[in-house]
Amino acid sequence: MQLSLETPALLFSATSLILLAYTNRFLTIAGIVRGLKKNYEENQTKSILLEIKNLNLRLTLIRHMQMYGVLSLFFSVFALTLLFFDIQTWAMYMFGLSLLLMLVSLAVSFWEISISVRALQIHLSDLIEEANKKTEK
């Protein structure tokens, strides 16, 4: 198999967009955590602590998503450098590693999204239960 310079370069735009999306998720959750912390200082409830614990896990996962995404980009650039110096075999290994790291990043992203959806479903179930009680009256 022959690897050309264009192949690893294709990963650049996708990786940068994914990293931007990960950063936006991080910033959004960080803002929510700050608001919940302030809310907890005023109303010390167990549900706020559980939400903060959930968000802490999500922040950890986002950190891992970003780390694997950056490593993917690093090894893709390294593969380009090896191709530039006509070191084909090692370039293929490095590009393969960059693809593997991107897959790991995307898998962790899926895990984080699953946690987020589950948390939203819990919030919605509480609201639906409350709405059902009000309509029964």
- 25-74 pLDDT, tens per residue? 999 999 988 998 888 888 888 877 888 888 999 999 999 999 999 999 99
Confidence of residue 137 (pLDDT cuts 50, 70, 90): low
pLDDT at 65: 96
Task: Specify the pTM.
Answer: 0.82
Query: Residue 99: left if φ>0, alpha if ψ -120 to 50, beta else—which one?
Result: alpha
49, 40 contact by CB (below 8 A):
yes
Residue 29's closest CA among 5, 2, 53?
53
* Higher pLDDT among residues 124 and 113, named by residue: 113
Give residues with Cβ within 8 angstroms of 86, minimum separation 6.
none
Contact 52, 33 (CB under 8 A): yes
- Check whether 131 has a pLDDT greater than 90: no
Q: Which DSSP symbol is given to 28?
A: H
Helix spans in 43-87 (H): 46-84
* Domain range annotation of the chain: 7-136
Quick: pLDDT tens for 63-80: 999 999 999 999 999 998
